[in-house]
């Protein structure tokens, strides 16, 4: 049984005391199996749980999310990974179950942002998933259950301090949700809008066909978008989010950020990157940073000096032309936006990152110019009619 109230060490910051989590009626829908979750941990846990369970219900596949500061750094379903994807996600040496594959994809697309993440799993955590979580820098995990062996692995992480939550999969919150800001209470109906296939039926471009694989990716991108701090844009391919642009004040900045992250995911699969020879003993986090520096166009002298020390032999850098040629081969990426595009600039940027399918609410006075831009690039665009702001 879960208690109806639990004290927290502090709120969002150490000086914000006292802090607690509680239910106005009944018991908490989760049980703490290890560690002591904090205020931000629970915000990440409860938001990421909704994301993975919505993907699980819609796509009938194991789903995972990597959350940081109440937005997904990555989210995915358990689509098998290519050898290049496994190497780019640093899991080529592991045996992966479908659930572990989902987390490898969710964690791997933006490893820098996923550092110190909160993990959400849609299915019972198995040993392969626990072993993957065990070796990563992470704050905690939420799942419907854990096998005894997986739970034993996770309880040993951080010398017993790793936070492990078991969530009641049958829990359904009440329709109204409340938030208190500066002593003022706000109330609204919770966002239970289902993300389904029919959401993408209204196609407004010359091209109309969306293959099933792209439809799955649109579901993944849009469900992730629903739990991402606004303004936001997500890109996805092969059952995983490849780039998230969260919490920006302009639509084009969301798109630039998401596209830049997506580009890095695909560039990490370049043969030159996969062939990098790191010095003995370099930890994965440092390797990850070194790869990002390797893919930058220019480094400062200090960055260059620190970067060179991570390799046995300093590699020749990819030129802008070589990176552009690699990215030009990327196609079939989907883009979903939580609100309409006010201008065509986001479509112009997306065209450089392999985007072939776009979903957005529509409703801008400039819809026609955005549609025209999609037609120029041969994209298919759907108007969903649904805004998905999340704050």
What pLDDT shows up at residue 117?
96
172 contacts 193 by C-beta, under 8 angstroms: no
Ranges for all domains in the chain classified under CATH 3.40.140.20: 6-10+29-172, 194-267+327-383
User: What's residue 99's pLDDT?
Assistant: 98
Q: Where in the chain is the domain with CATH 1.10.287?
A: 271-317
Question: From the CB of residue 230, how many other CB atoms can be counted at a distance below 10 Å?
Answer: 19
- Quick: pLDDT tens for 36-52: 999 999 999 999 999 99
For residues 187 and 202, the answer to whether their CB atoms sit within 8 Å is: no
Coil, strand or helix at 211:
coil
Quick one: average pLDDT of 368-390? 98
How crowded is the C-beta side of 117, counted as CA atoms within 13 Å? 30
DSSP label at 278?
B
Average model confidence (pLDDT) for the chain? 96
Count Cα atoms within 13 angstroms, Cβ side, for 142. 27
According to the model, what pLDDT value does residue 307 have? Answer: 87
Q: Which of 41, 47, 68, 270 is catalytic?
A: 68
Residue 68 known to be catalytic: yes
In sequence order, what are the residues at sequence separation of 6 or more whose Cβ sits closer than 8 angstroms to the Cβ of residue 79? Answer: 61, 101, 105, 238, 239, 240
pLDDT of residue 175: 94
Give the CATH architecture of domain 6-10+29-172: 3-Layer(aba) Sandwich (3.40)
3 band by pLDDT with thresholds 50, 70 and 90 = confident
What is the average per-residue pLDDT within 327-344? 97
* Distance (Å, whole) CA 375 – CA 206: 6
Among residues 101, 150, 106, 104, the alpha carbon closest in space to that of 124 is found at 150
Give the C-alpha distances (Å, rounded to integers) separating 381 from 77, 217, 246, 305, 340: 23, 14, 21, 45, 12
Is 391 part of the annotated catalytic residue set?
yes
Question: pLDDT per residue over 60-99, tens digit each?
Answer: 999 999 999 999 999 999 999 999 999 999 999 999 999 9
Q: For domain 271-317, give the fold.
A: Helix Hairpins (1.10.287)
Contacts of 185 (CB under 8 A, 6+ apart): 178, 179
Residue 44 has a pLDDT of: 97
Query: What's the pLDDT at 81?
Result: 97
Tell me the three state secondary structure of residue 67. strand
With a cut of 50, say whether residue 113 has pLDDT above it: yes
Alpha-carbon gap, residue 33 to 1, rounded angstroms: 12
Q: How far apart are CA 215 and CA 221, in angstroms?
A: 10
Q: What is the rounded CA–CA span in Å between residue 165 and residue 389?
A: 27
For residue 136, give Cα distances in angstroms to 107, 154, 248, 278, 311.
Answer: 9, 11, 28, 19, 22
* Annotated catalytic residue, options 47, 231, 288, 289: 231
User: Is residue 253 annotated as part of the catalytic site, yes or no?
Assistant: no
Kindly compute the dihedral angle of the four CA atoms of residues 313, 316, 318, 319, in this order, to the nearest 10 degrees.
160
Answer yes or no: is pLDDT of 172 > 90.
yes
Dump pLDDT digits (tens) for 117-162.
Answer: 999 999 999 999 999 999 999 999 999 999 999 999 999 999 999 9
Residue with tokens 């002593």: 183
How many degrees, rounded to 5, is the angle at CA 38 between CA 54 and CA 112?
Answer: 65
CA distance 145 to 168: 9
Q: Hey, what CATH class is 194-267+327-383 in?
A: alpha beta
Averaged pLDDT, 8-23:
94
Q: Is pLDDT of 333 > 90?
A: yes
What digits encode the pLDDT tens for the residues 214-227?
Answer: 999 999 999 999 99
Q: Are 226 and 386 in contact (CB under 8 A)?
A: no
Mean pLDDT throughout 320-340? 97
What pLDDT score does 287 carry? 92
Distances (CA, A) of 383 to 26, 197, 378: 41, 13, 16
Q: What is the mean pLDDT of residues 16-27?
A: 93
Residue 328 has pLDDT above 90, yes or no: yes
What would you measure as the largest C-alpha separation in the chain, in angstroms?
A: 62
Residue 1 pLDDT level (bands cut at 50, 70, 90): very low
Q: Known catalytic residue: 231?
A: yes
């Amino acid at each position: 049984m879960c208690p109806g109230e639990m004290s927290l060490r502090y709120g969002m910051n150490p000086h914000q005391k006292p802090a607690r989590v509680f239910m106005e009626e009944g018991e908490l829908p989760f049980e703490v199996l290890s560690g002591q979750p904090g205020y931000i941990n629970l915000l990440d846990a409860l938001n990421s749980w909704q994301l993975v369970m919505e993907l699980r219900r819609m796509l009938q596949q194991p789903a995972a999310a990597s959350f940081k500061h109440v937005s997904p750094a990555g989210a995915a379903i358990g689509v098998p990974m290519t050898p290049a994807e496994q190497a780019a996600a640093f899991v080529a040496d592991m045996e992966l179950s479908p659930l572990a594959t989902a987390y490898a994809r969710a964690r791997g697309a933006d490893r820098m942002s996923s550092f110190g993440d909160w993990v959400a799993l849609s299915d019972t955590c198995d040993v392969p998933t626990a072993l993957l979580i065990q070796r990563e820098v992470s704050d905690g995990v939420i799942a419907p259950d854990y096998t005894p062996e997986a739970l034993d692995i996770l309880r040993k992480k951080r010398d017993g301090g790793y936070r492990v939550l078991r969530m009641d999969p049958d829990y359904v919150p009440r329709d109204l949700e409340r938030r208190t800001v500066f002593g003022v209470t706000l109330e609204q109906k919770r966002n239970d809008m289902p993300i389904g296939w029919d959401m993408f039926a209204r196609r407004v471009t010359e091209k109309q066909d969306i293959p099933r694989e792209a439809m799955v990716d649109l579901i993944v991108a849009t469900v992730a978008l629903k739990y991402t701090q606004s303004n936001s844009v997500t890109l996805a391919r092969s059952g995983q989010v490849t780039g998230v642009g969260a919490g920006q004040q302009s639509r084009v900045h969301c798109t630039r950020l998401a596209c830049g992250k997506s580009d890095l995911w695909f560039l990490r699969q370049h043969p030159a990157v996969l062939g990098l020879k790191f010095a003995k003993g370099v930890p994965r986090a440092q390797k990850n940073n070194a790869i990002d520096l390797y893919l930058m166009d220019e480094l400062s002298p200090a960055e260059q000096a620190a970067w060179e020390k991570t390799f046995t032999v300093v590699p020749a850098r990819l030129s802008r032309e070589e990176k552009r040629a690699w990215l030009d081969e990327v196609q079939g990426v989907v883009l979903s936006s939580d609100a309409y595009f006010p201008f065509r600039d986001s479509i112009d940027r997306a065209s450089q990152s392999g985007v072939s399918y776009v979903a957005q609410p529509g409703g801008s006075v400039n819809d026609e110019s955005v549609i025209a831009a999609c037609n120029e690039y041969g994209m298919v665009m759907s108007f969903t009619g649904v805004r998905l702001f999340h704050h």
